[in-house]
Chains A and B, each alone.
Chain A
């Protein structure tokens, strides 16, 4: 059964800093991997979806990488802003395709 681990659990950085969030998963036979953002008391916002055939995806200041062989993914946030403060969740399918198994998330605080 898929297990997803995220490190660190919490991170506080000054505004403007570049940062990396880490995600590891135990079953590398995944169809894709997704990164989500969750603001306090809110639902999920999908940030990036990486298909198994891809090694990275970029959207604006966000870049996510996927290394299936090592069971790892990273989310890189460039030039962080206070508005980036949220919990970031990594999710990988339980087997092959679905359903998604979530990590516990990384709570990011960007301080102005």
Chain B
């Protein structure tokens, strides 16, 4: 079945630095990918929709200048958390949609970000 890979799975960064998380569709092309954030004991909240070759669409309340999303190819979307703060510490997970019948969505393994 389709596989979505995220990297890194865990990252610790210092406050004020930037960190990039990659989301790759390994065996299919994805024109649309989605980025979610999950705080402890909370559900997944959609941050933005990443569109290949165009600007991402951000959900209300998500700062586009802080969470930079780049979808430069049909198999790769990146999320960069800029000027990270401890409150950005969270579980970030991406998903990709397989175009076609069913439009199945596959999720990556997620990335744990800890800002110290």
A51: chain B residues at CB < 8 Å are: 102
- Among A49, A99, A104, the residue within 8 A (CB) of B46 is A99
* A43/B109 in contact, CB under 8 A: yes
Q: Say if the beta carbon of A97 comes within 8 Å of chain B.
A: yes
Q: Say if the beta carbon of B62 comes within 8 Å of chain A.
A: no
Q: Say if the beta carbon of B104 comes within 8 Å of chain A.
A: yes
B36: chain A residues at CB < 8 Å are: 102
Q: Say if the beta carbon of A58 comes within 8 Å of chain B.
A: no
Chain A, residues 43-73, CB within 8 Å of chain B (1/0): the string is 1101001010000000000000000000000
In Å, the complex CA distance between A59 and B43 comes to 24
- Cβ-Cβ contact count across A and B, 8 Å cutoff: 51
For chain A, residues 56 to 94, give those with C-beta under 8 angstroms from any C-beta of chain B.
Answer: 89, 91, 94
- Min CB distance A93 to B, Å, is 9
Assuming the contacts A32-B102, A43-B107, A89-B44, asked whether A100 and B93 have C-beta atoms less than 8 A apart, the reply is: no
- Min CB distance B61 to A, Å, is 13
In Å, the complex CA distance between A89 and B45 comes to 12
A46: chain B residues at CB < 8 Å are: 106-107
In Å, the complex CA distance between A2 and B110 comes to 24
Closest 9 CB pairs between A and B?
A43-B110, A43-B109, A104-B43, A102-B44, A99-B34, A44-B107, A102-B43, A97-B103, A99-B46
Hey, which bits of chain B sit against chain A, CB under 8 A?
A: 32, 34, 36, 42-46, 49, 93, 95, 97, 102-110, 112
With A100-B46, A101-B46 given, can you name 5 additional A-B contacts, CB distance below 8 Å? A32-B103, A97-B103, A98-B97, A98-B105, A102-B36
